[in-house]
Structure 1
Amino acid sequence: MKLSVEYLIPKYQDNLYQAAFSVLQNPADAQDAVQTTMIRYHYLNQEFEDEEHIRKWLFKTVINASKDIRRSFWRRNKVSLEETMASIEFERIQDQSLFQEVCSLPEKYRIVIQLFYYEEFTIQEISQLLSITQSNVKKRLSRARDKLRNVLEQEDEHVN
């Protein structure tokens, strides 16, 4: 099974962008990672079992492309996190605060939070996507939650 890129782009583009952004924290680079992923898929001569298999391949590829871009010496079009935050509209102020705190986490925690909570991948799927053990995924999720909880509790204390 191989679905058309025309079908996949509108369906997965935003989610792939969010996963790439969680690694790169740069809108232009995240867009490049998504574009690279779609181009690789288009030229790939591989049959997939089903759409879920394609989805997993897309996320694994966009994460790897993001890591490649991050390691690249020539990271262009850098935009600060503050500029990016100013361009995103949030329904509630709490959502913005949570987003800022997630973005401030180290990458290894950001990516598991993104994949688990926003993309709804299972622990096992995240383990496969990131090529780490399931216990490592659980540990990273737990540590990320602890860090977020501590920061958000401190913010609540300041507000009250």
Structure 2
Amino acid sequence: MNTYDYNISDIVNKYSRHVAMLSYTYTKNIADAEDIAQDVFLQLVKSNKKFENEEHLRAWLFRIAINKSKNLLKSFWISHRSDFPTENTSIHEKDYDLILSVLELEPKYRIPIHLFYYEGYSIKEISAILHEKEATIGTRLDRARKKLKDKLGSDYYGS
């Protein structure tokens, strides 16, 4: 088996923002998401794990981030909180409304939406990352889109 040779510094620079954003979709807390991202890369360094290619490495990073995010949410001391800015500072109002609406979705809808639209994964790739059937991911994406359309209305979707 050929292994993908990677430089940890390059990987951190390339994927730290993506890992933190994915963690944020679970935790809804920037500090927690950043902590999880650091933990993910620390685990990568400690594991000395070998990967077939960069996509395999990326999927592993996301899987670890998801697991660490879920573990944090299960911990007894975590409270429901959000530090997403409530004031519309530099984000266009339409985008701000969409971001807030996505964050209000249940995780089973929010995570596939994030992976599909913000990370560019296909349904097949998302099903592998989340260990769900492709049909399940497709259904969740459809339901999430419907929920977003119902919430945001025709002003956003132009229908």
TM-score (norm 1): 0.88
Unaligned residue ranges in structure 1 (runs of 5+): none
Unaligned residue ranges in structure 2 (runs of 5+): none
Would you say 1:31 and 2:34 are equivalent positions? Answer: yes
Matched residue SS, 2:85: helix
Code of the aligned partner of 1:101: S
Alignment of 1:2-151 (within 5 A): 2-75=5-78, 80-81=81-82, 83-86=83-86, 89-151=89-151
How many angstroms does 1:85 deviate by?
2.1
Matched residue SS, 1:38: helix
The share of aligned pairs that are identical, in percent, is 35
Q: Which of the two has greater helix per residue?
A: 1
How many angstroms does 1:88 deviate by?
7.6
CA RMSD of aligned residues (A): 2.0
How many angstroms does 1:89 deviate by?
4.6
* Alignment coverage as a number of residue pairs: 153
Aligned-partner Cα distance in 2 for 1:41–1:100: 31
How many angstroms does 1:43 deviate by?
1.0
Structure 1 pair 103–57 and aligned structure 2 pair: CA distance change class (3 A)? same
